[in-house]
Amino acid sequence: MVDALFGVPRLVAVYDALDPDRGDLEHYAAMVTEFGARQVLDVGCGTGELACLLAKDGIEVVGVDPAAASLEVARGKEFADRVRWIHGDATRLPPLQVDLAVMTGNVAQVFLTDEEWSATVSGVRDALRPGGRFVFETRDPARRGWEEWTRENTYQQKSVAGGETVESWSDLIGVELPFVSFRGTYVFGSDGAVLTSDSTLRFRERGELEKSLAGFSIDEVREAPDRPGKEFVFVATRQ
């Protein structure tokens, strides 16, 4: 099921404006260059920021996401016409042979069951050429990052396209490790509408993730440059 933040058109329309600092994507673009990848699969591509960034540089990109509203926004961006957009997930991809598959942000943590994660890993592996790489990030549960997901720490008020003003914040609503649930609240100034989006993420331990990557060899586990010490960035090669 798609979270409202990615599936409700009014929320998707302001998503990029409320999270404008995507410096993490530059690190992924640098890894594309580092590995000499020319074909990239962006799993959980959302509103298409990374996909379009790579397409601008001549990379052949496939972006897949289960949220139709997010893909609609993605298709309207510059260089979007160079991207192959797929409405769906990694378990139902057409035949592909890409050099690199990536999952940015929280994507790797939205798969709550072992079966969902295993099927996704298998789907990614099938989409990679032999020797292709799989790169994804996931928060280190030992850092207890969810403790910062409070209104006090996350409240913001921003002006978005069309002169609309939006207030937003997050509230932690449940911690039953390895699962953490939180709610985003969005208040639109033009009409006072209040929309919410509930999310649950699974925080997997590093060892658990290492064991779960069937069909891959793990090259290294890096730190996320934009959140040092808080995340694992896995780099794995298809066997």
Same domain, 42 and 109: yes
Q: Say how far residue 55 (Cα) sits from the centre of its chain.
A: 17
Same domain, 147 and 40: no
pLDDT score of 125 more than 90: yes
Nearest CA-CA partner of 209 in 139, 145, 133: 139
Count other C-beta atoms under 10 Å from residue 148's C-beta: 12
Same domain, 134 and 47: yes
Same domain, 77 and 163: no
Same domain, 64 and 85: yes
Give the per-residue pLDDT at 228.
84
pLDDT score of 70 more than 80: yes
Same domain, 166 and 189: yes
Same domain, 18 and 110: yes
What span, in angstroms and rounded, lies between the C-alpha atoms of 202 and 176?
A: 10
The parent domain of residue 183 ranges over 143-201
Q: Taking a C-beta distance cutoff of 8 angstroms, is the pair 156, 169 a contact?
A: yes
Tokens for 126, please give them.
């099938």
Per-residue pLDDT, averaged over 142-166, amounts to 94
DSSP state of 227: S
Average pLDDT of the chain is 96
Give the per-residue pLDDT at 91.
97
What CATH number corresponds to the domain at position 112?
Answer: 3.40.50.150
> Is-above-0.85 flag for pTM?
yes
Q: How many structural domains compose the chain?
A: 2
DSSP output for 33-81 = HHTT-SEEEEET-TT-HHHHHHHHTT-EEEEEES-HHHHHHHHTSTTGG
Give the per-residue pLDDT at 205.
97
Same domain, 197 and 133: no
Same domain, 152 and 179: yes
Give the per-residue pLDDT at 24.
82
Q: Taking a C-beta distance cutoff of 8 angstroms, is the pair 55, 82 a contact?
A: yes
Return the amino acid letter for 224. A
Instruction: State phi, psi for 64 to the nearest 5 degrees.
Output: -125, 135
What span, in angstroms and rounded, lies between the C-alpha atoms of 53 and 207?
A: 32
What span, in angstroms and rounded, lies between the C-alpha atoms of 40 and 149?
A: 32
Count other C-beta atoms under 10 Å from residue 226's C-beta: 15
Cα dist from 204 to 85, 107, 142, 210, whole Å: 29, 13, 10, 10
Same domain, 130 and 209: yes
Question: pLDDT tens across 155-207, in order?
Answer: 999 999 888 999 999 999 999 999 999 999 999 999 999 999 999 999 999 99
Give the per-residue pLDDT at 163.
85
What span, in angstroms and rounded, lies between the C-alpha atoms of 165 and 8?
A: 18
Give the per-residue pLDDT at 123.
98
Q: Say how far residue 239 (Cα) sits from the centre of its chain.
A: 24
Query: Can you say whether the dihedral through the CA atoms of 163, 15, 228, 104 is positive or negative?
Result: negative
What span, in angstroms and rounded, lies between the C-alpha atoms of 34 and 104?
A: 17
DSSP H or E segment with residue 194: strand 194-202
Per-residue pLDDT, averaged over 39-44, amounts to 98
Same domain, 165 and 89: no
